[in-house]
A = this chain, B = another copy of it.
């Protein structure tokens, strides 16, 4: 038996008055997910633990069985890897937004008017050398980019330059511990950010944007310092060959960091328009070559963070339709879950547990007939935590080592 592991980002939600006090998942028509629930074993999942509100990075590490208390060293590395950047031991990575600031460094727009691509703005920053530290800069989707610092004596214990809100001044990067390395890294970063600001202001594209009354893309808002940690690969840990089908860079980056192969799908964009049919068809094909296929779907989270419950419900129905491609496979264990809840009412991640279903040969089918936050609470898995997921899967695959004798 092989595994398709589907993570619908931020799927979990809370009851919404306009949906008759149902969650978007409960309100959506999901015959295929419900069938998986009916033929499977269900439960509620706390990806880190009860009451912990997790970011997408730690929750995915935890789902794959990596204890984040030991292995999590910041998000930057995953973003950089996900954009195809190379990282070496000792490197420090960040994600960043290309933003708009006034001359006094007050932030006007954290996304520089959601520019189509930051590539033409940042290309001249790539390769900058400051105090012996080399900066690699690569564009992501729209206003997003990643930055990798390479040099000696760097530390990831530095604060964000991004205050995460507008109409406030950008922050100086500060060391987060008393080490010389953190002080040095913060100094070099502040010099780099200043250098980038000057270069960006001088960029002819910004002069054009200014004429057109568009927000200038004139500042790098860095956040999420992370350093490279070598961990035991997913294959070495479980003896399962694994691949990842995802749109957004973070998830590809996490998969890459764990040694999974990345299958790039045309039309997998991580947005509402993503081609889910193509992703699930690719997943089905990938089963021939891999033991474990990780499919990541992003837009459920984006809807939650936008507070758009109508769109979230609609997108869940789109997932349900597309998942039919894999939901009737023999010889496959289908696992569908989420990395965290993103309640529309909060427009943010929350610690509410998420539903999980495992459907395949040998599972103790329970009485749950609907895939939803509250229905799954009565499932045979009861409440589990993220680090339980892979052991449960390995048990169903019959690949668990005996403990004791």
Listed in ascending order, the chain A residues whose CB lies under 8 Å from chain B are 14-15, 21, 23, 44, 48-59, 68, 72, 74-75, 223-224, 343, 345-346, 348-352, 362-367, 373-374, 377-378, 380, 382-384, 388, 390-392, 394-395, 398, 400-405
**A352 and B374 contact, Cβ closer than 8 Å, known pairs A53-B401, A395-B51, A404-B58:** no
Q: Are B15 and A388 in contact (CB under 8 A)?
A: no
Which of B362, B390, B400 contacts A14, CB < 8 Å?
B362
> Nearest chain-B residue to A376 (Cβ)?
B380
Q: A15-B365, A392-B50 are in contact. Are A404 and B343 (CB under 8 A)?
A: no
The contact of A345 among B48, B362, B377, by CB within 8 Å, is: B362
User: Contacts A374-B380, A383-B382, A395-B351: A53 and B366 contacting too (C-beta < 8 A)?
Assistant: no
Given A388-B50, A395-B350, does the pair A404, B57 have CB atoms closer than 8 Å? yes
B51 engages A364 (CB within 8 Å): no
Chain B contacts of A51 at CB under 8 A?
A: 388, 390-392, 394-395, 400
Would you give 21 A-B contacts (Cβ < 8 Å), ordered by A? A15-B365, A21-B365, A50-B392, A51-B395, A52-B400, A54-B402, A55-B405, A57-B405, A58-B404, A59-B404, A68-B403, A72-B404, A75-B404, A75-B405, A224-B405, A348-B398, A350-B398, A350-B400, A377-B380, A377-B382, A378-B378
Beyond A50-B392, A55-B405, 16 additional pairs, beta carbon < 8 A: A23-B364, A51-B391, A51-B394, A51-B400, A52-B403, A57-B404, A58-B405, A68-B403, A349-B402, A350-B395, A351-B400, A364-B374, A366-B374, A377-B380, A382-B383, A383-B383
Our pick among B44, B56, B391, B404 for the contact of A404 (Cβ within 8 Å) is B56
The 7 closest A-B pairs by CB, nearest first: A51-B391, A58-B404, A55-B404, A351-B395, A75-B405, A50-B388, A53-B400
Determine the chain B residues whose CB is within 8 A of the CB of A15 once the complex forms: 362-365
Question: Which residues of B are found within 8 Å of A363, using beta-carbon distances?
Answer: 14-15
A402→B53 contact, CB < 8 A: yes
From residue A80, how far is it (CB to closest CB) to chain B in Å?
A: 13
- For A224, list chain B residues within 8 Å (CB): 405
* Minimum Cβ distance to chain B for residue A59 (Å): 7
- Residues on B with C-beta less than 8 A from A380 are 44, 374, 377
Partner of A373, one of B68, B364, B395: B364
Contact A398 B346 (CB under 8 A): yes
Complex contact B382–A58 (CB within 8 A): no
Query: Bound state CA distance, A272 and B352, in angstroms?
Result: 38
Nearest chain-B residue to A59 (Cβ)?
A: B404
Quick check: B53 and A395 within 8 Å, CB to CB?
Answer: yes
- Shortest C-beta distance, A14 to chain B (Å), equals 5
Is B75's CB under 8 angstroms from A395's CB? no
Question: Which chain B positions have C-beta within 8 A of A75?
Answer: 404-405
The distance from the CB of A379 to the nearest CB of chain B, in whole angstroms, is 8
Point out the residues of chain B lying under 8 angstroms from A392, CB to CB. Answer: 50-51, 351
For the complex formed, measure the closest distance between the CB of A43 and the CB atoms of chain B, giving whole angstroms. 9
Chain B residues with Cβ under 8 A from A394's Cβ? Answer: 51, 351
